[in-house]
Structure 1
Amino acid sequence: MKAWVGDREGAGLPAYMRDLVRLEELARLIELVSPLLIPGLLQSPSYARLIFEESLMGETGADLDELVALRCGRYEKLRSTNDPKVVAVFPETALTLVPEAVRVEQARHLVELTDTGRVRVHLVPSGSLLLGVTSMLLVFHMHDGGTAVSSDHVDGNVVYADSDGYARLQGLVKQALGAALPAGQSRKVLEELL
């Protein structure tokens, strides 16, 4: 009933915008803050495969090749539709603690993405924590001026329909950017990881 009233009165997000894919397609800017891993939208194939192999833990019926292709093709699909800018903040350890071949492929992929001028990466240096961000946080800035926020959880993504907490969540993005290296220094770190 609360969701119906919210839709009817215009509070929060309309039902059609609560889908993550739809939010990506309507965004002009996507801010991604991850306390542990590289955000899925920016993952290279070997990195995505590593994550899926761990998270699915041998689940039957999971087609890893298909999952990797879907995840790794997502950003290119967005480039051909709404071409959003992407700002990503994640720890340097998301790269340094994976196998070398995965690290090199992922670092190269991130450098290539930053070369487009549409992606900015900010690495949180080793020894620092993103305090306050306990799971992946996604902030979507829409072409119409609206904002939507979602968060990844162990078993899926939750889009926050109630915008009352958006100011606090957007504050966490600013806090994460403050803890991270500037984009230019982050790129130098990425190049050193190749």
Structure 2
Amino acid sequence: MDSPTVLRRRLGAELGKLRMSRGASAKDVAAALDWSASKLSRIESGSVPLQDRDAAKLLAHYGVNDPAEVKQFINLTRQSRQQGWWHAYGDALPDWFRAYIGLEADATKIVTFQCELVPGLLQTESYARQVIRAMNPTESADDIERRVALRMERQQILDRQDPPQLWAIIGEAVIRRHVGDASTMRAQLGHLADMAETRPNITIQVLPFSAGAHAAMGASFSVLSFSDLPGSVAYSEVTTSSIYTERPSEVARHQETFLRLMASSVQPEKSVSWLREVAEECQ
């Protein structure tokens, strides 16, 4: 079942299409409904839940009167307000990361570049625990374990019948920096190699130090694409916040950067061999 995040985006996209098919500007529609322009913008972008009464106002304004069509929109509106599985983790999940979890859950393709650590979807439990503990030094052991559990549950999308295509590029620093003890690092690198070798939907490349200056110096990011939604979403984060963009020109810039990183990185087959070699060096 689609996540509420993606349902909100789909609902917003459909409402945006209705508005444009009537030749109405967002500013005019907002004024007619006595709304702020930002409210309509957030609804059409899917960044906020839509209430039934507001959906009814929009549909009436656009001249949608067919009971079956109205019912379909209202049902979608209600489904989009349901809570995703990740809400059970409460404070273990920062507010700024909730939207990403919803998008990730329904993405059909994910490309990601990580210069400092293994992507969350590919982390072992032991590695994840060390990373989370280092990044949240004041949290209790129970809170750390909740964050670890959340990260492990995210990975279930890779085991479903229709898993997303995942292409991950990691900097050489990721495989050289020891996170935890030698056994933790050896297991993590072995896991990366195993996933790349046994999962046809997963590709991993390593960007070597020898590549020198590259297209994404110091900037990790991901681009998520969907089968039934227009456009893609580019995502990047810092310590306490994140940036999402769906603007075509900005998403295209991220995609072009990823293509350049692919060209600068070791080819997938050789990357797997390299991962195994470095794993053996972990003593």
Map 1:168-187 → 2, pairs under 5 A: 168-187=253-272
C-alpha distance 36-64 of structure 1, shift in aligned 2 (>3 A) = same
Counterpart residue number, 2:47: 15
Q: Which amino acid aligns with 1:107?
A: L
Map 1:155-170 → 2, pairs under 5 A: 155-170=240-255
Structure 1 window deviating more from structure 2 (29-38 vs 121-130): it is 121-130
Identity among equivalent pairs (%): 21
Runs of 4+ in 1 over 6 A off after TM superposition: none
C-alpha distance 64-112 of structure 1, shift in aligned 2 (>3 A) = same
8 Å CA contact retained: 2:129, 2:148: yes
TM-score relative to the length of structure 1? 0.85
- Structure with greater proportional strand content: 1
Question: Mind listing any 5+ residue stretches in structure 1 that lack a counterpart?
Answer: none
C-alpha distance 156-81 of structure 1, shift in aligned 2 (>3 A) = farther
Q: Which amino acid aligns with 2:130?
A: L
Q: Which has the higher contact order (CA 8 A, sep 6+)?
A: 1
Counterpart residue number, 2:273: 188
Map 1:28-177 → 2, pairs under 5 A: 28-60=108-140, 63-80=143-160, 82-98=162-178, 99-114=181-196, 115-128=198-211, 129-144=213-228, 146-177=231-262
Deviation (angstroms), 1:182 = 0.9
SS at match of 2:189: helix
C-alpha separation between the residues in 2 aligned to 1:95 and 1:46? 15
C-alpha separation between the residues in 1 aligned to 2:218 and 2:265? 16
C-alpha separation between the residues in 2 aligned to 1:146 and 1:192? 39
Question: Mind listing any 5+ residue stretches in structure 2 that lack a counterpart?
Answer: 1-35, 49-79, 81-97
Q: How many equivalent pairs are there?
A: 191
Asked which structure has the greater CA Rg, the reply is 2
Q: Which amino acid aligns with 1:6?
A: S
C-alpha separation between the residues in 2 aligned to 1:3 and 1:170? 28
C-alpha distance 82-136 of structure 1, shift in aligned 2 (>3 A) = farther
TM-score relative to the length of structure 2? 0.60
Q: Which amino acid aligns with 1:155?
A: T
C-alpha separation between the residues in 1 aligned to 2:37 and 2:256? 27
Deviation (angstroms), 1:139 = 0.3
C-alpha separation between the residues in 1 aligned to 2:125 and 2:166? 19
C-alpha distance 86-57 of structure 1, shift in aligned 2 (>3 A) = same
C-alpha separation between the residues in 2 aligned to 1:159 and 1:101? 36
SS at match of 2:236: strand
Counterpart residue number, 1:4: 39
Deviation (angstroms), 1:60 = 4.2
Which of 8, 24, 46 pairs up with 2:104?
Answer: 24
